[in-house]
Homo-oligomer: A and B are copies of this chain.
Amino acid sequence: MSTLQSSDETQEFPSITVAALQMEPRVGRKTENLEVSLRLIDEAATAGAQIVVLPELVSSGYVFSSREEAFELAEAVPGGVSTQAWENIARQRNVYVIAGLAERVGNKLYNSAVMVGPEGYIGTYRKLHLWGDEHLYFEAGDLDLPVFHTPLGRLAMIICYDGWFPEVYRLLAMQGADIVCMPTNWVPMPGQADDAMIMANTLAMANAHVNSLNIICANRVGTERGQHFVGNSIIVGADGWPLAAPGSADRQQILYADINLKASRQSRHLTTFNTVLRDRRTDIYDPMLGTGWQLPRY
């Protein structure tokens, strides 16, 4: 017998080092927040990180006291001071940076995330699913769910409550996304203890597993105008298991993990018969979605 051996099985493939930068922004103190973010990016890059993710609305803070304050803290993307600062350090330190910020487009605000790299500005995502009082300041996202192709792999961005929608992860996986970068501002939830696995971590693990997606969740910590944030940032591998254990509930912290795209792309094949994405029964789902009961009855 000939010994035909595919290079698929034998070829080593280098890993990527990624980091979740859990930090504590202070609402309204943009200069200070940007300085802290740059210090954390610098530290992570020095430690070898090639992709770093910062929390949601990291340069502005989260709990606005008025529409005027939200407008004042929002900025153009690209072109604004936050994107510019992150573009500069991305170029200097040869790192990809994903971070949340308040985006202003004319008189509309979006809860956005920006991706920059050594090559400059890459793209913007606007949060599709707004949470609570965000409805008072922001428009719901209108840029779909883009996947950005970089030399390190296919990267996507989603924000916080987007993670409650399995549709989001499916739509990214079906475009071939390798790594989902999630700036977030997770808050306490009923039934949830800070020192046990939080529900948002469970959601990330489940969605990573059924889509073979690596997911980097960078949460904030601290209490802002009475709103507490729970930390517990996490990096989940494409098999659904945590690569970096949940972060502290209350301290700034950098979580690191190595992601191997060869392993994660191969992990989509569960058995010789099964790969989840190809096993989807769209012949069943699609006609059911067309039957008129799409608005839930409750």
Contact = CB atoms under 8 A, between A and B. Distances in A.
B129 A279 contact: yes
A225 interface: no
Interface string A138-160: 00110011000000000000000
Given A164-B276, A197-B197, 12 more contacts: A129-B281, A131-B274, A133-B273, A144-B288, A164-B279, A166-B167, A167-B281, A171-B285, A199-B205, A202-B205, A202-B206, A203-B206
Interface of A: 128-133, 135, 140-141, 144-145, 161, 164-167, 169-171, 173-176, 190-192, 197, 199, 202-203, 205-207, 209-210, 239-241, 265, 268, 271-274, 276-282, 284-285, 288-289, 293-298
A161 to B, nearest CB: 7
A140 B141 CA distance: 38
Nearest to A197: B197
Contacts of A241: 191-192, 199
A199 B240 contact: yes
B274 A161 contact: yes
A122 B276 CA distance: 30
Given A165-B210, A174-B294, A210-B165, A240 B273 contact: no
Given A209-B202, A209-B203, A130 B293 contact: no
Contacts of A285: 167, 171
Nearest to A154: B297
6 contacts: A141-B284, A145-B288, A165-B276, A171-B285, A173-B296, A192-B241
A295 B278 contact: yes
A11 B85 CA distance: 56
A277 B285 CA distance: 16
A145 to B, nearest CB: 7
B166 A293 contact: no
Given A161-B274, A288-B144, A293-B175, A167 B280 contact: yes
Contact of A298 (B161, B170, B176, B210): B176
Contact of A210 (B203, B205, B209): B203
A191 B239 contact: yes
A230 to B, nearest CB: 15
Contacts of A282: 294
